[in-house]
Amino acid sequence: MSKEKELFQKLSFEDISIIEEMLDAIYKQGYKKGFHYGYEEGYDEGKTEAEQAADQELLRTTVDGVIFTQHVTTNTIDFSEEVENLFGYPRQAFQEDEDLWKKIVHPDDEAILVQAEEELLTGNPVKVEYRILRADQQQKWISLHATPVMDVDGTVTKVMGQFIDTAERKQLEEKLKQIAYTDDLTDLPNRVWLDSHLQKAISRAQRHHRKVMVMFIDLDDFKHVNDNHGHHAGDFILQEVAERLFRSMRKEDFIARVGGDEFVAVFEKTSRKEVESIASRIINNISEPYQTEDTAESLSSSIGISVYPDDGEDAETLLMHADKAMYKVKHKQKNGFTFYSPAPKEEKTWRLPPMSGLPPAFD
């Protein structure tokens, strides 16, 4: 079996170097430069048309996805038959409109393809992922693997490569991301996601000279819920608490569950007054009764707040100081919130009488 046929049978196009290896094998046997589904007119005059057709068919049927050849000088592009399954358009449509494969790129990903084309025209291979909108308007993730072919002068004359359907892999990635970054019980972000988000929020605040506020929320005496009513009731209440926290905040705010009955919120582009208002709203909402299977349960919460850069310039310090502020509330009277202060005499604590619904008292 010839070297090129062995390569054809092994082709997956997952690595663009395979294409280059195939080209080298073809060139070494005296074929002309230029590639069209493996071969082009004028190559190896010793082969019959039937043999040429068989080799082209072999390449088309052993490669996953859509293989293509783009002729740079004539601005035309040829696709294998799988283009209809991947893009949802008949193959004829791409012959009638040479730019159709560009027009169906998702608007948010157009820059990715533009940059890839620039890289190819400078002689560099590319491997990028982006979304397309099929003929049925279904959004699909695809991967483009391509390499340029240059003439003896180093000018790119053609681009060859493959489009691969990566939708299933993307779905798997999203599932794994959800498992890694969200809390199983409440579906809120977990500590891992919180750390990443807070670090990015601090970076944004540094660039734009803004403040970031970190709120540590702890449910008071939650242990007795599990002790008196069981973990099933406790889990139900935690899920309800998560919903109430979410409703208490702005759409742009971030809330994560970081422990059994502990939550952390991150606020950007806000003011101290606005965060105070949110904290009061959280305390009121959490204090509303919870109806379990056999009883109505009431809870209160203690909240500590730290501010970047006043109380720390990194995520760990801000979380530690928010936690300390929360414990000051918990040790004094619970059911309130306070901002972190290293000096007790400067500390300002807001307190809400349980279930009162009254405006916060100021100490």
152: its two tokens: 């003896």
261 among known catalytic residues? yes
Q: Of 287, 239, 297, which is closest to residue 263 (Cα–Cα)?
A: 239
Write the CB contacts of 275 (distance below 8 Å, at least 6 apart in sequence): 213, 215, 267, 305
Length of the chain: 363
Relative to beta strand 361-362, strand 139-150 is unpaired
Any residues with CB less than 8 A from the CB of 137 and at least 6 apart, and which?
none
The catalytically annotated residue of 218, 220, 253, 261 is: 261
What does the block give as tokens for 212? 């970031």
For the chain, what is the HEC assignment?
Answer: CCHHHHHHHHCCCCCCHHHHHHHHHHHHCCCCCCCCCCCCCCCCCCCCHHHHHHHHHHHHHHCCCEEEEEECCCCEEEECCCHHHHHCCCHHHHHHCCCHHHHCECHHHHHHHHHHHHHHHCCCCEEEEEEEECCCCCEEEEEEEEEEEECCCCCEEEEEEEEEECHHHHHHHHHHHHHHHECCCCCCECHHHHHHHHHHHHHHHHHHCCCEEEEEEEECCCHHHHHHHCHHHHHHHHHHHHHHHHHHCCCCCEEEECCCCEEEEEEECCCHHHHHHHHHHHHHHHHCCEECCCCEECCCEEEEEEEECCCCCCHHHHHHHHHHHHHHHHHHCCCEEEECCCCHHHCCEEECCCCCCCCCEEC
Q: Tokens 């809400």, residue?
A: 352
So which residues are the catalytic ones? 261
